[in-house]
Amino acid sequence: MLVRCVVNATGVWVDALRQQDRDEGAPAAQAMVAPSQGVHMVVDRSFLAGDTALMVPKTADGRVLFAVPWLGKVILGTTDTDYKGALGEPTCDEADIRYILEVTSAAFPEAQLTDADLISTWAGLRPLVADRNGNPSDISRRHEVKMHEPGWWDVTGGKLTTYRLMAEMAADLACAKLKAGKKCRTHRTPLPGSERRVDQARSVKFFTGIPNSVVGSTLYRHGHRIRNILHREKRNYGLICECEMVTEGEIEYALKKLNVRDIVDLRRRTRIGMGPCQGQLCAYRAAGLFVKYDSATSDESNKMLVDFLEERWKGIKPVLWGDALREVEFGYWIYQGLFGLGDVRFEEEAEKR
């Protein structure tokens, strides 16, 4: 494939892609990215009184701790450790849990958090700009857009709050190279669903007869597109995920309009499976809707259900204790004891046999 311009914005995989561009047998290029792992934990909303996020600017070991109210829960974090493992498999381990619990208990002694209070965890990798000096937490969160060779730019560093600025820098450089005579428009382009303001009170009134919690959740996720999603037919606003108030109508819209390929994609579009049950009670319903709306065959639906549950397992395995453990045991009984999902053989497995 011949192209006039390449923007390598692959995060922690920047160096791997650069290496693919080198001649076979050539020595590895100097690393541009220093992956750093960050872990967050989720606890119940009752941990914090009020709606204000709190931050401890400097813990005993010099890091930062925050507690952020978010969608009915509280997020605690974060860690900042040098990462040398497989880039696609960052995980939260016992040391991460102990660290966040200890620092949180020191900052908020009245909370008395224990393992039993943890709902789930997640881990991710930051593609920090490589610096031979200092610890990961000392490395600046600055971003860089550097030319690797004429027509090839590598984007490194940055964070979620600067992603549009990074995109603007890269797009402007690419347009200049292509002599397009245009500038990036991202700073003037609304995110989908935010093109116009929607008043929640008016939306609730417009959808009279549909529970307010359903209207509010759908509005939060999709903005003014809510009128393309909800209508008063009972099937449309029937709940598929009670934790996150995800309706059948929202899933139908996502499958038809939002480029959803599997349940993991659906989670990103609708937050299905992100509540306390972590998909234990709603994933099988969602899998059935893929078949109902001709987005998957029965075999494909079963396979994506297994993949989704295994993905959710990564987030709850480190905190299995108390109610979380009981929830997982109940989920196992549903999927294995009732549905026999573990005994299903998919097409690729049958071919191997």
Q: Tens of pLDDT along 259-315? A: 999 999 999 999 998 887 788 889 999 999 999 999 999 999 999 998 898 887 777
Average pLDDT, the chain: 86
pLDDT for residue 250 is more than 90: yes
With bands split at pLDDT 50, 70 and 90, how would you rate the model's confidence at 350? Answer: very low
Give residue 127's pLDDT. Answer: 93
Question: 6-187: which CATH topology?
Answer: D-Amino Acid Oxidase; Chain A, domain 2 (3.30.9)
DSSP 58: -
Give residue 133's pLDDT. Answer: 61
Query: Residue 42 — left, alpha, or beta (φ > 0 → left; ψ -120 to 50 → alpha)?
Result: beta
With bands split at pLDDT 50, 70 and 90, how would you rate the model's confidence at 170? Answer: very high
Average pLDDT over residues 100-115: 86
Write the CB contacts of 179 (distance below 8 Å, at least 6 apart in sequence): none
Backbone angles phi, psi at 245, to 5 degrees: 55, 50
Q: CA–CA separation, 192 vs 118, rounded Å?
A: 33
Q: Which of 231, 223, 273, 225 is nearest to 249 (CA)?
A: 231
Give residue 136's pLDDT. Answer: 54
Give residue 138's pLDDT. Answer: 54
With bands split at pLDDT 50, 70 and 90, how would you rate the model's confidence at 217? Answer: very high
pLDDT digits (tens, 9 = 90+) for 24-49: 777 777 889 999 999 999 998 888 88
Give residue 351's pLDDT. Answer: 47
Of how many residues is the chain composed?
Answer: 353
Q: CA–CA separation, 338 vs 48, rounded Å?
A: 38
With bands split at pLDDT 50, 70 and 90, how would you rate the model's confidence at 345? Answer: confident
Give residue 332's pLDDT. Answer: 77
Q: What is the pTM of this model?
A: 0.80
Q: CA–CA separation, 314 vs 121, rounded Å?
A: 8
Q: How far apart are the first and last CA of the chain?
A: 37
Q: CA–CA separation, 259 vs 300, rounded Å?
A: 16
Enter the tokens of residue 171.
């797009």
Give residue 61's pLDDT. Answer: 77
pLDDT for residue 352 is more than 50: no
**Annotated domain spans of the chain:** 6-187, 238-352
* 19-23-24-30 Cα dihedral, nearest 10 degrees: -40
Write the CB contacts of 156 (distance below 8 Å, at least 6 apart in sequence): 14, 32, 33, 127, 128, 129, 130, 143, 144, 146
Q: CA–CA separation, 42 vs 60, rounded Å?
A: 22
Enter the tokens of residue 127.
């593609």
* 258-263-265-271 Cα dihedral, nearest 10 degrees: 90
pLDDT digits (tens, 9 = 90+) for 306-331: 889 888 777 777 777 666 677 777 77
Cβ pair 65, 77 in contact under 8 A: yes
**Residue 161, helix vs strand vs coil:** helix
pLDDT for residue 335 is more than 50: yes
- Residue 107 burial by CB count (10 A; 0-12/13-18/19+): exposed, middle or buried? middle
Give residue 71's pLDDT. Answer: 84
Cβ pair 282, 331 in contact under 8 A: no
Helix, strand and coil content of the chain, in percent to the nearest 5, comes to 45, 15, 35
> Of 70-74, 134-138, 250-254, 308-312, which one has max mean pLDDT?
250-254
Q: CA–CA separation, 223 vs 227, rounded Å?
A: 9
Q: What percent of the chain is predicted at pLDDT more than 90?
A: 42
Q: CA–CA separation, 262 vs 290, rounded Å?
A: 8
Give residue 202's pLDDT. Answer: 84
